[in-house]
Structure 1
Amino acid sequence: MIGYSFGNYIPMEIFNPNFTDENLTKSDYYRLLIAIISAIITFFAVLVALFKDDLRELWKRPIIQFCTPDEMTIEDLNSSLESETASDIPVAKRYYSRIEVKNIGNMPALNAEIYLDKLEYIPKDSTISQNIECSGAALNWNGSESHTIIIPPGGKKLIKIVEILAPEKISTPESEKINKPPLLTIGEIENNKETAKGKWTATFSLYAQNLKPIRFTVEIEWNGVWKTRLTEFKKLYKIAQKI
């Protein structure tokens, strides 16, 4: 019905292009050329005005990389607790593993924070994965008590992601001495003695004011046994960034 009415009451001749055999004059040609160029310039000006922030990010933005330092796991030494003579052999009171954060972009990463977003645990001699609830607290950057920093272009910063404290003897209310086992902490999560042996997969995220969240994942394996020197401890403890 609509097509019938349209065809009968609206003259179709108005849609036919009307060509003439007259050639364009030079002035008409340049006038048309200038109009086309002006339209193109106006189009791109509107495009830039609408998407200038997105276009700026293509050239000026922070670019974050997560790298493994030359020494990912290091030791914090302490003198022997049995004596304090000069002949004491230093022993480790803790080990900790770090990740290096680099900004290879041309703008600083503002108010950068790192959180432990996800932690999975597989007990030794098992294939069943357990999800461990994360605290939601930001990690402290190395050498600072602050959770947030600015990473300038070309800058790099280390952050501790895993810590293992040495076992120690503690006193009970009954004045008894008991052995406290070594304590593994991933991010801000302390693992209890029931989850002291096995494999952990930890996913961390970096958030910044001018950057979308970026994630990296590490895998940790440990049998729960403590050694007083890093050389021996690294035979039992493994950590690697997951690509």
Structure 2
Amino acid sequence: MTIHSLEQTRQRLARLAMGVVLVASMTWPVVAREPGPPGKPGTTWNAPHHGTRQTTPPRAAQPKRAEPIRRGMQARPDPRYRPAANFAELQAIAGEVARASGRKINWKLRHGENPGPLVRIRGTLADCTITIHPLAAQKLPANTWAFLFGHEFAHLTEQLGVHSETNPEVELKADIAGARYAMAAGFRLDAFLGWVLTEPNKETSSHGSLHRRVDSIAKRFGIRQEAIRAQAQLYSRYRARH
């Protein structure tokens, strides 16, 4: 074979090889990967078959964590029965009830004297002080304090006067308004009324009968007496164990 013939053969082989590569490139899509950030999937696309960019499916969305339970109270034993953990929790409860009233109240909380009243408020919406009995602060259920604070705030927000100028009708109005505030803040009225039933049924000319007030409040909010008695029994059992 001549040199000329060898050169022609080499050219034909080269053209044949080029055709094979071209056919292969048109038949099989090449998958390439674009580098992504460390630890994250990259982006893939097909080439050169149709040149369409495709993004890898995103990771499944992780479920959102549940919203923190209000002020972490329920992380401890049931606040319907247990005492407030400390003075800071009492302040937090008062703050929540004050906000739930929908009024701007500038308030302070402090311990009172022993002996002395269970709870009392003095001042105006612009500057008031709530005084609580130091021993009661350690013993009364956290839930109960919400309604006591609500009652005291209602004396100011509803312009119901101070305790020395009040009567049973006015006190009931403060009970009802204050209960609305505490309930709006997420506290349990049935548990509060149950707690009241476990206390001695005191009666005074200014506040009337404690247990009759429970009946009136329950009727106003449509709470059945059986539910209140059930809460009273639960609290009595809790107190007996502690």
TM-score by length of 1: 0.25
Structure showing greater relative contact order (alpha-carbon pairs closer than 8 Å, 6 or more residues apart): 1
Which protein has the larger Cα radius of gyration, Structure 1 or Structure 2?
2
TM-score by length of 2: 0.25
Greater fraction helix: 2
Greater fraction strand: 1
